[in-house]
C-alpha cells in the first residue's frame, strides 16, 4: 500500500524506502487502492491475495537490485 498510494499521487518512488510495520491509511483505503491497481472488475479475495503476493515479491526484488540502489540509482533514474 505504501508504494501504490505514493504511485497514485505521482510521487517520485526513487527516493522512497518501504518501512515495515508503518501503518498508513485505513483498511478501507488500502482495499480500495488494491482493487484499483488489481484491475479486475470484481476481484475475489484469492485474486487480491495473488496480486499482493506477486507485487510484494517484485518490490522486494526491486529494493535489493543494485540498479535501484541509491548508489547506482542516480544513473538509472526512474528505473
Which pTM value belongs to this model?
0.73
Residue 34: CA count within 13 A, CB half-sphere: 22
Distance from C-alpha of 60 to C-alpha of 44, rounded to nearest angstrom: 24
The whole domain housing 28 covers: 1-75
Q: DSSP strand E in the chain: where?
A: none
Report the C-alpha gap between 10 and 76 in whole angstroms. Answer: 18
| Total number of domains in the chain | 1
pLDDT tens digits for the chain (79 residues)? 899 999 999 988 877 888 888 888 999 999 999 999 998 888 999 999 999 999 999 988 888 877 776 666 566 666 5
Amino acid at each position: 500500500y505504501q508504494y501504490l498510494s505514493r504511485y497514485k499521487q505521482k510521487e517520485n518512488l526513487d527516493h522512497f524506502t518501504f518501512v515495515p510495520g508503518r501503518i498508513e491509511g485505513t483498511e478501507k483505503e488500502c482495499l480500495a487502492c488494491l482493487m484499483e491497481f488489481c484491475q479486475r472488475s470484481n476481484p475475489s479475495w484469492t485474486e487480491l491475495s495473488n496480486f499482493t503476493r506477486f507485487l510484494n515479491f517484485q518490490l522486494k526484488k526491486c529494493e535489493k537490485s543494485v540498479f535501484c540502489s541509491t548508489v547506482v540509482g542516480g544513473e538509472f533514474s526512474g528505473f
